[in-house]
Amino acid sequence: MTTFFAQLEQRAQAIDSLLCVGLDPNPKDFTSAEAVRDFCFRLIDQTSAVALAYKPNSGFFEAWGAAGYQALQEIIAHVPAGIPVVLDAKRGDIDSTAKGYAQSAFEVLNTSSITLSPYLGADAIQPFLSYADKGVFLLCKTSNPGAGELQNLEVDNRYLYEVVAEKAQSWGSADQIGFVVGATDTEAMHKVRVIAPNSWFLVPGIGAQGGDLEAVVAAGLRSDKLGLLISASRSIATAADPLAEATRLRDAINAAREKFSAKPFTTSSDLEAVARALADAGCVKFGSFTLKSGKVSPFYLDLRRLVSYPKHLNTVGAALANLLSKLQFDHIAAIPYAALPIGVSASLQSGRSLIYPRREAKAYGTGVNIEGVFNTGDTAVLLDDLATTGETKIEAIDRLTAADLVVKDIVVVIDREQGAADILGQAGYNFYALVTLNQLLPVWEQQGYLSADHHAEIKRYLAADHV
């Protein structure tokens, strides 16, 4: 027996596509259910070469009554063998009713998977999971404008959608359960990916709803370049040439996959290992600290301490080596002082050359300002411990380019998410962070290094700092 998600992965790899073609025929545009059926038949025939899956929205068919339901059944049957179908029905009801919905979807309509509402709990989902070869996508963070009214409610210092993603891990495995995560909130997508590193996400909101494709891929792509079923409906259906538009979208998704495929972690346990290493080395402290700016902060980061803890330094270095393996460069250029020992660890574990820009100009000996061996025109990836605004990175890049080195990529251990990514991106550089502060905080709380109250205080501090 091949499960739905195994089938999805096999086809994704076979045709090199993550594109889901939505079938959303608005009743106002048609005269009959038969016209709807014929339209969807043509759309399937035109796009099947590039579609990873099809997603008919049941509401547009149910509007036609019994004739619409019949059309939906015929449309699902018309999809070529081997192409998964996701019934976008958003069902959610008590156990006995859920059994009826499951039978309708999986036995009568013969769809491959279905979207479900998780808000009645596990017993409302189990009837669908009893079909072992089928899949479900649970609504987690949807793409509609009002999604945040409920899904962004805070529960124990987390958003409700995070609770849904975490709770669902106990209902079934990633072979059974995926999540609907809209393209319109990539911060949420990133959070859910940390919670569910192996799951597939059904991603509406690209195209007519204005989702940023590259941001979606950067936030949600798994380390194997899979895990996102990116849906587009109206933009394909209304195109003069649906195949050309579907192909364009498929190619745009693949280009984004290549650009943002450097994912440092494959499992949540890897993130936990780095978080624990940083905490055990004392690189993070919680309390009250006066910063250079005069502000009082409820936490303090100091990655220079890693040099005194070889085991923890190697943990961070190994994760960095994995990230760096996805980039093309000749040398790691580590910024003194904190990033220099970290760069040495990453260099030793990746086998890549290390150089570093001196902080002070050298007025004696060889007089070089870049230490290490390199050639004119070589490419260096800049490595630092932290990123706040990105200004110090630009200064270091200036010293490297003055020595005729080329810098395209910047890597940091921790991104404080205070604007560095935007500033460096606008300057033309690719920016990668091993972890972000918002990734680390909930893990540190789970590991017992950070209390729930102090976590909430830090979140308020960071929110105020962005105002």
Q: Taken in order 271, 276, 281, 287, is the CA torsion positive or negative?
A: positive
Tokens 């984004």, residue located? 256
Topology classification of domain 268-466: Rossmann fold (3.40.50)
Cα 50 to Cα 20: distance, rounded to the nearest angstrom: 9
**Does 90 qualify as catalytic in the annotation?**
yes
Three-state DSSP class for residue 97: helix
Peptide bond into 337 cis (omega under 30): yes
Cα 383 to Cα 411: distance, rounded to the nearest angstrom: 5
Half-sphere exposure of 384 (CA within 13 A, CB side): 22
Three-state DSSP class for residue 30: coil
| pLDDT at residue 365, as a whole number | 53
Three-state DSSP class for residue 200: coil
Residue spans of the domains in the chain: they are 4-259, 268-466
| pLDDT at residue 6, as a whole number | 93
H and E: helices and strands count for the chain: 19, 18
Going residue by residue through the chain (467 aa), what tens digit of pLDDT does each one get? 789 999 999 999 999 999 999 999 999 999 999 999 999 999 999 999 999 999 999 999 999 999 999 999 999 999 999 999 999 999 999 999 999 999 999 999 999 999 999 999 999 999 999 999 999 999 999 988 898 899 989 998 889 999 999 999 889 888 899 999 999 888 888 888 878 878 999 999 886 566 688 888 888 888 678 999 999 999 999 999 999 999 999 999 999 888 764 444 434 667 888 999 999 999 999 999 987 767 888 999 999 999 999 999 999 998 888 788 767 789 999 999 999 999 999 999 888 899 999 877 655 555 578 999 999 999 999 999 998 877 789 889 999 999 999 999 999 999 887 778 888 888 889 888 888 888 899 999 999 999 999 999 988 888 776 54
Query: Are 127 and 102 spatial neighbours (Cβ–Cβ below 8 Å)?
Result: yes
Query: Are 146 and 185 spatial neighbours (Cβ–Cβ below 8 Å)?
Result: no
Instruction: Work out the number of other CB atoms within 10 angstroms of the CB of residue 348.
Output: 14
Q: Which CATH class is domain 4-259?
A: alpha beta
| pLDDT at residue 279, as a whole number | 96
Query: Are 339 and 317 spatial neighbours (Cβ–Cβ below 8 Å)?
Result: no
| pLDDT at residue 210, as a whole number | 61
**pTM, full prediction:** 0.61
The alpha helices in 329-411, defined as continuous H runs, are 339-350, 391-402
Long-range pairs, 350-357, Cβ under 8 A, ≥24: 350/320, 350/321, 350/324, 350/325, 352/324, 355/331, 355/380, 357/333, 357/396, 357/399, 357/400
| pLDDT at residue 30, as a whole number | 95
Which residue among the candidates 90, 167, 408, 459 is catalytic per the annotation?
Answer: 90
| pLDDT at residue 467, as a whole number | 42
Cα 453 to Cα 157: distance, rounded to the nearest angstrom: 9
